[in-house]
A = this chain, B = another copy of it.
């Protein structure tokens, strides 16, 4: 196949920018701070019914029967649906739902359980009624007869011989081949580079450790919600909070066996996602309830449902072995990564394997990845999915190696840092990346050289890698007579991307960011745009806006040339002014030409659509100061600095916001957050009171340093900044804990219990 239109062959301009790199107020700011922005739960429609989901109380059970008759007889109940209302599944179909894809049968089985329930919280039936209270009453009237089975709650448990099997026809995919044996291991893959045995033989020091991390949730503020209307023309309209309107469209269509264009998704504002607002849950249930009733049906999850029934990120068991020479050169590394997929195959272990040794140039590597089903909700993406667990493990071992070799931990990392040309064990070779610059910025930061005095205090560092993503994006831009433009995009805006995308269009057109009016519209009203994930929006939709603005600019140049009756190649747009290159008398501002368009041939619309490749990988490093209370095991973070390569920071404030947000989440993951499970597999802390996320009182001000090593694959050098910031914090905190009290932490969270137990164990040695 020949190359297509938008292969990345853009050379980064070195000119000064007028808009890129400044800090205008985001367009959606006033609506969000005044409460005017419309979220899914705000959605209202005439004749709206409320819906709710009956969920399994058991983590693993066979469904012997479901009797909905008492619920259906309750006054006010308009419809009840169960798995039998979903289309029957032909085996083999896969559905892309944004950050990953999923077998269609598993997806439907997760939407409404059929035959078995695989986690406490698994959806069993849906009800629509005229009020929420009737919904609750009706759910209690549905009689489900369960045969309770023993659960499997962690990857090692799931992999153990004789473990209860969740999916009774799940045969392991090993190195790409399907095994005949049924087990909980959905997949085992391996990346190899060089000769790892020879590499370890060259090493003077080898360290091997095992780590275990708990299941954690993204903790977005806004629960999942949906309203669906199955219209009488056969089209299904879905209003929902999502990171991927087009992925929801595709997944709903697949779940309901409809052509994609039969589904229209209107993305409402989104109150946080972090990867968790991609997968499909109650949307097809609401659609089926609407089909039965002819009315729109709205379902809004409770916080308990968010924790127990949506995808957290995987708990994991990780083993790391790294060897290095006396002069500080890593010769070999090995990783064993066993990740919980939750109830259905599909943990982020693949991404973990990409990232575990991502920051290092290591000649000999073996990485084994295992995707293991367990009786927890199907895992979902969470900010750099899989990378944080893996980096916690690898960066702890790297720290231990540096200490043992008597080397400065930053110098040791610099000594082995990946750079342009480094090959990863999975195959890809790095283009220009910014790890060395990030490490050097850490080293020269005042935090690194500041004295840290007092007992039980320590300073740790760690770095992390994330690949980032690109893919499809479409934009259209039209001109208003007052010299402003309207920008239509399909990327839902979580972290300020309306403005970071608008700025890239403004830069091309020579107008201000405020003079671009961005709008995120429904799936009928913009070309295909892949979801807001993989730190991709400022990269791909910014690029799409850049191209659409160029398409617009070229037409405006033609129009100016037509008005002046000169050739269009003699006209240029510079600093927001159209000029005849050869005649200084002929010039018009953007606004002056905009005002004339209708009368001189008509309006002008620019458009672009691309599949953005040329993604630039991102690196971040953290410096963490902690104080440990040796009596209680409580860890306080005293000071925290994050340094990150943004490529080009289009809007530095929102880059800093992403860095601070990721660091805060990483610290929460490091110290407190976990799914606390009962022995029979129920989550015991499914409220924001009991699931302890850090508040502003728990955190210091998080200092940020943006490093800008431009990504040559993007017109403005953008890399993507949303995810890598969460990768290094747990390791940086763990390494700081070691410097503070001499104890190596090998599990997450490092909560007071874990730290106290580690202290006791250390003292026994």
Q: Which of A5, A29, A608 has the most CB of B within 10 A?
A: A5
Cα distance, A612 to B480, chains bound together (Å): 18
Cα distance, A2 to B571, chains bound together (Å): 15
Determine the chain B residues whose CB is within 8 A of the CB of A5 once the complex forms. 555, 558-559, 562, 601-602
- What per-residue 1/0 map shows which CB atoms of A531-567 lie under 8 Å from chain B? 0000000000000000000000001001101110100
Cα distance, A473 to B598, chains bound together (Å): 10
Determine the chain B residues whose CB is within 8 A of the CB of A597 once the complex forms. 528
Measured CB to CB, the nearest residue on chain B to A262 is B482
- How many Å from the CB of A339 to the closest CB on chain B? 28
Check A667 for interface membership: any CB of B closer than 8 A. no
Q: How many protomers of this protein does the assembly include? A: 2
Q: Which of A2, A260, A529, A603 has the most CB of B within 10 A?
A: A603
Q: Are B605 and A525 in contact (CB under 8 A)?
A: no
Give the residues from 503 to 528 in chain A that come closer than 8 angstroms, CB to CB, to chain B. Answer: 517, 519, 521, 523-528
- How many Å from the CB of A136 to the closest CB on chain B? 24
Determine the chain B residues whose CB is within 8 A of the CB of A598 once the complex forms. 471-472, 528, 611
Determine the chain B residues whose CB is within 8 A of the CB of A116 once the complex forms. none
Q: Are A261 and B563 in contact (CB under 8 A)?
A: no
Q: Are A601 and B6 in contact (CB under 8 A)?
A: yes
Cα distance, A233 to B499, chains bound together (Å): 15
Contact among B30, B474, B486, B599 for A478, CB-based, below 8 A: B474
Determine the chain B residues whose CB is within 8 A of the CB of A472 once the complex forms. 598, 602-603
Cα distance, A598 to B470, chains bound together (Å): 12
Q: Are B517 and A1 in contact (CB under 8 A)?
A: no
Determine the chain B residues whose CB is within 8 A of the CB of A561 once the complex forms. 2
Determine the chain B residues whose CB is within 8 A of the CB of A1 once the complex forms. 562-563, 565, 600
Cα distance, A562 to B561, chains bound together (Å): 33
Q: Are A4 and B260 in contact (CB under 8 A)?
A: no
Cα distance, A526 to B521, chains bound together (Å): 11
Cα distance, A27 to B4, chains bound together (Å): 34
Contact among B525, B565, B609 for A2, CB-based, below 8 A: B565
Determine the chain B residues whose CB is within 8 A of the CB of A31 once the complex forms. 231-233
Determine the chain B residues whose CB is within 8 A of the CB of A481 once the complex forms. 250, 260, 528
Q: Are B528 and A519 in contact (CB under 8 A)?
A: no
How many chain A residues touch B (Cβ–Cβ < 8 Å)?
Answer: 70
Give the residues from 53 to 90 in chain A that come closer than 8 angstroms, CB to CB, to chain B. Answer: none
Q: Are B486 and A524 in contact (CB under 8 A)?
A: yes
- What per-residue 1/0 map shows which CB atoms of A596-623 lie under 8 Å from chain B? 0111111111111111100000000000
Measured CB to CB, the nearest residue on chain B to A5 is B601
Q: Are B600 and A609 in contact (CB under 8 A)?
A: no
Cα distance, A133 to B3, chains bound together (Å): 67
- What per-residue 1/0 map shows which CB atoms of A94-125 lie under 8 Å from chain B? 00000000000000000000000000000000
Check A46 for interface membership: any CB of B closer than 8 A. yes
Q: Are A602 and B607 in contact (CB under 8 A)?
A: no
Determine the chain B residues whose CB is within 8 A of the CB of A44 once the complex forms. 44, 46
Q: Are A602 and B606 in contact (CB under 8 A)?
A: no
- How many Å from the CB of A87 to the closest CB on chain B? 16
Q: Are B474 and A36 in contact (CB under 8 A)?
A: no
Q: Are B602 and A482 in contact (CB under 8 A)?
A: no
Give the residues from 238 to 280 in chain A that come closer than 8 angstroms, CB to CB, to chain B. Answer: 250, 259-261
Contact among B233, B605, B609 for A30, CB-based, below 8 A: B233
Q: Are A607 and B607 in contact (CB under 8 A)?
A: yes
Determine the chain B residues whose CB is within 8 A of the CB of A599 once the complex forms. 611
Cα distance, A523 to B521, chains bound together (Å): 12
Cα distance, A518 to B565, chains bound together (Å): 37
Determine the chain B residues whose CB is within 8 A of the CB of A479 once the complex forms. 527-528
Check A488 for interface membership: any CB of B closer than 8 A. yes
Determine the chain B residues whose CB is within 8 A of the CB of A229 once the complex forms. 36
Taking A46-B42, A603-B474 as contacts, is the C-beta distance between A259 and B484 under 8 angstroms?
yes
Taking A231-B36, A524-B517 as contacts, is the C-beta distance between A601 and B610 under 8 angstroms?
yes
Check A476 for interface membership: any CB of B closer than 8 A. yes
- How many Å from the CB of A216 to the closest CB on chain B? 32
Q: Are B478 and A528 in contact (CB under 8 A)?
A: yes
Give the residues from 259 to 306 in chain A that come closer than 8 angstroms, CB to CB, to chain B. Answer: 259-261
- How many Å from the CB of A392 to the closest CB on chain B? 35
Q: Are A36 and B232 in contact (CB under 8 A)?
A: yes
Contact among B7, B30, B607 for A606, CB-based, below 8 A: B607
Taking A1-B600, A611-B598 as contacts, is the C-beta distance between A482 and B260 under 8 angstroms?
yes
Q: Are B609 and A525 in contact (CB under 8 A)?
A: no
Cα distance, A602 to B523, chains bound together (Å): 16
Given contacts A4-B600, A5-B601, list 5 more A-B pairs with CB under 8 A: A30-B231, A30-B233, A478-B526, A601-B611, A605-B608
- Give the interface of A toward B (CB within 8 A): 1-7, 27, 29-31, 34, 36, 42, 44, 46, 229, 231-233, 250, 259-261, 471-474, 476, 478-482, 484, 486, 488, 517, 519, 521, 523-529, 555, 558-559, 561-563, 565, 597-612
Q: Give me 13 A-to-B residue pairs in the complex whose CB atoms sit less than 8 angstroms apart, sorted by A's number.
A: A1-B563, A2-B562, A2-B565, A4-B600, A4-B602, A5-B558, A5-B602, A29-B233, A486-B525, A525-B525, A603-B611, A604-B609, A605-B609
